[in-house]
Structures are given as C-alpha cells and as structure tokens.
Amino acid sequence: MRAAVLLFPGLNRENDAMRALQQASGVKPTLVWHAEHDLPAGTDVVVVPGGFSYGDYLRCGAIAGRANIMNAVRAHAARGGLVLGICNGFQILCESGLLPGVLMRNRNLRFICRMQHLRVERADTAFTNRYAPGQVIEVCVAHGEGNYTADSQTLARLEGEGRVAFRYCDASGQVGGDANCNGSMNDIAGVYSEKLNVLGMMPHPENLIETIMGGTDGRGLFDSLASAAAKAA
C-alpha cells in the first residue's frame, strides 16, 4: 500500500498516522506538503491527519480545504482512489467538498478528550473489511468541533445510501444519550462519500494500534486499507 500523508501547518497527528499505516502495510508512507500540486505517482491511499491546520482560523479546515494539494486529492478521489480524513482531516474533507456536511462546535462547548466506543455500521468497505458489521470498537476522541451537522435531505441521503461509517455508542453498542459525546446528528462519527472511497471520521483509530497505548481496536481500519490496496494492485 502506497500511502501519502498530507501535511498542513498546524497539524500534529501526521506521525501517528504514518506509524499506523506503516505498521499495517510494512511500507513507509510519503509525507506531502500542502503547497505541492501532485501526489506521488502510484498513491493508493491519501490520509489527511488531525491537528489544528492554520490554527482553526476562519472555520476548522476551511483554509486547508482550499490548498493546492486538495485539487490533486479531488482528482485522486474522482478516479476511485482511497482518501481517509481523521479529526481535523475530516473537517478539511468537508470544507473541500469531498464529503457532505460540516463539523460544528461540540454541543457542550468543551474540548472532549476521552476514550469512546464506536459502532462499525458496515464491514464491506475498503476501510472496514477487517471488522464485523455492528462490531463495537473502542478508540479515542480529541476535538472541540466534532458535532456533525447536515441539512435534512443530506442526512436522509447518507442514511438511505448506507454512508454512515461509524456511530458513537456505549460499550454495549447502544447509540444515543450520553454515548453521543458531541451532539452529532444521528450519532454520526464518520461518513463515506457516494462511492465509499472517501471516509471522514472524528475519532482517532491511529492512536489505538498498540497495547501499550490502551488498545488495538484502531488497527482494523489500517489493516482493512492495506488489504483493499493489495487486492486492487
């Protein structure tokens, strides 16, 4: 799997993403600076990591979403290439138009940093083929603006087309109530593009890949990507 990890000023999770990708595939990803116009030739997966691009000025992800490299990412996605946005990366993908909706301020107005259970809504995508449908995984969240918001038609479309990737839930897989940490509509923690080749998610699977870090439930996502890329090759 040849992975490209994008770097914008203010991101801080790029090394975590690189480590998770390398662990899954055995291949060191390439770090790509935002001012570049092209992705490395043969890129299978583009990862937009988390952090605070441009200090979250204007709106989270707004300035990064319009950077040069995003034109190349849009072209990669249009060809069916895989794109994963995590946390600020999810916000950037929404602002760039690659995913619908927007991440608003958390309902409780606080920055939330904690462990969080997620329900894997489907296990037949390039991102989740190593999980089981409905499986509950435990990863972590760390964000101030993760409150997924979209108009009612967009929301109905996402639900109707099976494009909700993950929902916030409790340890038993029950959604709603306090399990929804940030107020996201329909408990949405991650969404897919129309062709299921672009995924944006607020939680951090890349930080739960080693037992010393408190769990390995995030590994499945990167193993899924590696196996999807191997199959496509």
Partner 1 sequence: MKARVTVTLKSGVLDPQGKAIEGALRSLGIEGVDGVRQGKIFEIELSSDDRASAEAVLKEACERLLANTVVENYRVELL
Mapped onto helix, strand or coil, the DSSP state of residue 106 is: coil
* Residue 206 designated active-site: yes
Residue 153 binds partner 1, judged by CB under 8 A: no
CB neighbours (10 Å) of residue 50?
Answer: 26
Residue 112 binds partner 1, judged by CB under 8 A: no
Minimum distance, C-beta of residue 62 to partner 1, in the bound complex (Å) = 7
- Name the catalytic one among 87, 94, 140, 169: 87
Contacts with 14 (C-beta within 8 Å, 6 or more apart), sequence order? 5, 6, 7, 31, 49, 51
Residue 200 binds partner 1, judged by CB under 8 A: no
Minimum distance, C-beta of residue 51 to partner 1, in the bound complex (Å) = 20
Give the x-and-dash track for 7-46 against partner 1 (CB under 8 A): ----------------------------------------
Query: Residue 109 and residue 7: Cα distance in Å, rounded?
Result: 28
- Which C-beta is closer to partner 1: that of 38 or that of 151? 151
Query: Residue 113 and residue 15: Cα distance in Å, rounded?
Result: 19
Contact 65, 150 (CB under 8 A): no
Residues binding partner 1 (CB under 8 A):
58-59, 62-63, 66, 95, 100-102, 104-109, 147, 149-151, 183
